[in-house]
Structure 1
Amino acid sequence: MAYNIVFVASFFLIIRFNFSEAQMVPAMFVFGDSVVDVGNNNFLELSVAKATLPYYGIDLPTKKPAGRFTNGMNAADFLAKKVGLPTSPPYLSLVNESSKNKMSFLTGVSFASGGARILDRTDPYAFQSVHLTQQVDYFATVYEDLNIQLGSSGAERLLSKSIFAIVIGNNDILGYFGSSDLRSKTSPRQYVDSMVLTLEAKLKYLYNRGARKFVIIGIPSLGCCPARRRETKNEECNEEINYWSVKYNEGLVSMLQKLKSDLKGLHYSYSDSYKVLLNFIQNPAAYGFVEVKAACCGLGTLNAEIFCLPIANYCSNRSDHVFFDRVHPTEATYRILVDHIFDGPSQYTFPMNVRQLVAV
């Protein structure tokens, strides 16, 4: 009986690999923070880091919050659409459901969590997010489930052709510069080096469990978000935060190049979201933006003193703002960012873009 189950599951996988032209990969597994969280935080009872109140989701078809920290779809939604898949469902939405629904793992799953960090021990409110270590632990459970469903060879084939999207590090940088305690204990150089080393270990772990194609999004120009601008003279970008965001990205790129040479069959697409976002800010008209400093939704200076709560003001035209709330981009920004990730030239994405990665 067990043999028949594995055979049927493997046969099902073979059929699925003959997917339509629109479906470019069998599955997408997402790790990261609020840039790609599609609802995992909604299932954390003690967390207040949830996008469950108006006006989050106001531009979704339902006009209601759906766990995304923006006015509509986020980077995970757009990337899934690009590769012809439904958005990978939140892992925490599946684990308590019946086993028959675990077949959802066959097209991927999202472990991303708003507030997540690479260095989970640096977060004094760690219980409010699923940090990277726990996300990778959750994947280990999915890995075992796929092996049971498909057999080891079937699981290996699915995972080797799937996309592993990694979008994390933003909260580590913001957390470091927002914590006098962290800054007193470690230098910024030591801190970003620790981020890179920790992420490297997680990528190796995923590789050893079948991951071969990675989409890695670097840290954007965080110092230019409304929350950081309101703290500076003349509402300019916080250049110290931007400087160390760049230094982390440089370390990340070096690490990825080394992994590529050390690990057989590993391929990756790195997106320089720092340059992309800065380009939006410096040349807004070229992308249809008008407001690059202030958040669409919030209160106070630059609408950046609180997050987007029901008591906040919100703009009538979200598509002309780069930022929706004090730290998160608008749906319009995410859409163009993912366009750059998917089909971008080498100045923004290298050594290949995502379209080229899925064809490898």
Structure 2
Amino acid sequence: MASKNFRESFFFLILAFFCLFMMNFSFSEAQMVPAVFVFGDSLVDVGNNNHLHISIAKADFPHNGVDFPTKKPTGRFSNGKNAADFLAEKVGLPTSPPYLSLKNNKNRASLIMNGVSFASGGAGILNGTDQARHQAIPMTKQVDYYAIVYQDLVRQLGSSGAQQHLSKSLFAVVIGSNDMFDYLGSSDLRKKHTPQQFFSLMTTTLKEQLKRLYGNGARKFVINGLGVIGCIPSERVKKQTEECNEEANNWCSQYNDGLKSMLKELKSELSGLSYSYFDTYSVMHNIIQNPSAYGFTEVKEACCGLGKLKAKVPCVPISTYCSNRSDHVFWDLYHPTQATARIFVDTIFDGPSQYTFPVNVRHLVAV
């Protein structure tokens, strides 16, 4: 009897090990990259600003998160998931946690292995935007924080191990809109810089930050161009006709041209660097011009807010919100809905060279 029990126990032990092995095998097959590191603004903030005590650029209150799996606000400026969530899903990883949530976490060493998000609502390439928004984490500070994470990884994996880990990871950068909003709204900035000078300052500053990331192991970048920000509800509501601000759109297009040129230069200067640039402008323009092709019916009005186009008052607890969120391109006066963010990520991941170049993210992963 004892022998029989031993054989049965041994059999179940082997079976358990086999099941664990298969679970790990399946996970590693699904996981396309070791980690995703995210830098940027409110389009990809997953909760960093929740930890900035005096910041007004927060989304940790209803009706944000109404379509998130938990049905609760998380700090995302969205009705549900944002682009950072969808990118993580595409490569088989959990969403990278907010850096500020890890600073005092005893398990931080293990939590950073699959990536970290440094994105912050209100952040810009230039440091001035966080002053205008009364506290955010500008791009320079986000890269400072990443340098700390890099040292943590070196301590855990060794220098060569960390380099190998990071060289296969993705570094997503979604930033620049707040700089453009600042320039649009500041007569001082417009007196100080011509549009071309300001856009050049943005691209040269961003180039320096990308070089810093490269110096600390980054090799694969996912870079978003600016969208058609002249067509967001906060800009349309300023016009009696509710038309787009074409001056703002033209400036975004000019900046994007400079950004594309800068990325080509950077690739030629830095050995082993690869990138996928997403033409947010063209895809967003297509959606606005032909919404029904993408499943939308409302391109002007925000889903959540108050007043004309629901853009006179932001999405706050006293605001009303639409019942048909998937029909709306915009969640609030600035930000896309979960449905729009999903289209953006689907396109950058598997889209044609018309919208994502020199390669899409699926090909970038395989480089």
* Common topology (TM > 0.5): yes
Kept in 2, the 8 Å contact 1:216–1:268? The answer is yes
2:293: which partner in 1? 286
Distance 1:102 1:177 in 2: 42
2:29: which partner in 1? 21
User: Which whole-Å deviations, capped at 9, do the CAs of 1:50-96 have from their partners, x for residues lacking one?
Assistant: 10111000001221100100100000000000010000000000001
1:133: which partner in 2? 140
Kept in 2, the 8 Å contact 1:94–1:102? The answer is no
What stretches of structure 1 of length at least 5 have no aligned partner?
Answer: 1-15
Equivalent of 1:161 in 165, 168, 174: 168
1:48: which partner in 2? 56
Secondary structure of the structure 2 residue equivalent to 1:357: helix
CA gap of 1:113–1:262, structure 2 versus 1, over 3 A, is: same
Distance 1:165 1:265 in 2: 17
Equivalent of 1:231 in 222, 238, 245: 238
Secondary structure of the structure 1 residue equivalent to 2:28: coil
Secondary structure of the structure 2 residue equivalent to 1:49: coil
CA gap of 1:142–1:295, structure 2 versus 1, over 3 A, is: same
Kept in 2, the 8 Å contact 1:296–1:324? The answer is yes
Distance 1:333 1:254 in 2: 27
2:8: which partner in 1? none
Kept in 1, the 8 Å contact 2:302–2:311? The answer is yes
2:85: which partner in 1? 77
Please state if 1:198 is matched with 2:221.
no
Distance 1:97 1:137 in 2: 19
What stretches of structure 2 of length at least 5 have no aligned partner?
Answer: 1-23
Secondary structure of the structure 2 residue equivalent to 1:214: strand
Distance 1:219 1:17 in 2: 39
User: Which whole-Å deviations, capped at 9, do the CAs of 1:262-285 have from their partners, x for residues lacking one?
Assistant: 111100000000001111111100
Output the amino acid matched with 1:333.
T
Give 1 or 2 for the bigger CA radius of gyration: 2
1:108: which partner in 2? 115
Structure 1 position 163, deviation (Å)? 0.1
Distance 1:165 1:329 in 2: 18
Please state if 1:96 is matched with 2:129.
no
Please state if 1:37 is matched with 2:45.
yes
Kept in 1, the 8 Å contact 2:348–2:355? The answer is yes
Equivalent of 1:146 in 133, 143, 153: 153
Kept in 2, the 8 Å contact 1:160–1:212? The answer is yes
Distance 1:225 1:289 in 2: 15
Kept in 1, the 8 Å contact 2:222–2:276? The answer is yes
Distance 2:130 2:111 in 1: 31
Moved >4 Å (runs of 4+): 16-19
Distance 2:134 2:328 in 1: 32
Distance 1:173 1:17 in 2: 46
1:3: which partner in 2? none
Secondary structure of the structure 2 residue equivalent to 1:254: helix
Output the amino acid matched with 2:38.
V
Q: What is the percentage of aligned positions where both structures have the same residue?
A: 64
Distance 2:129 2:76 in 1: 24
Equivalent runs, 1:250-329 vs 2, <5 Å: 250-329=257-336
Secondary structure of the structure 1 residue equivalent to 2:309: helix
Output the amino acid matched with 1:20.
S
Structure 1 position 126, deviation (Å)? 5.8
Secondary structure of the structure 2 residue equivalent to 1:215: strand
Structure 1 position 191, deviation (Å)? 0.6
Please state if 1:58 is matched with 2:85.
no
1:9: which partner in 2? none
Superposed CA RMSD in Å reads 1.4
Kept in 1, the 8 Å contact 2:68–2:80? The answer is yes
Output the amino acid matched with 1:331.
Q
Distance 1:17 1:95 in 2: 31
2:355: which partner in 1? 348
TM-score (norm 1): 0.93
Kept in 2, the 8 Å contact 1:37–1:110? The answer is yes
User: Which whole-Å deviations, capped at 9, do the CAs of 1:208-255 have from their partners, x for residues lacking one?
Assistant: 111100000110000000000111241111001000101110000000
Structure 1 position 19, deviation (Å)? 5.6
User: Which whole-Å deviations, capped at 9, do the CAs of 1:291-332 have from their partners, x for residues lacking one?
Assistant: 000000111111001210111111001000000000100000
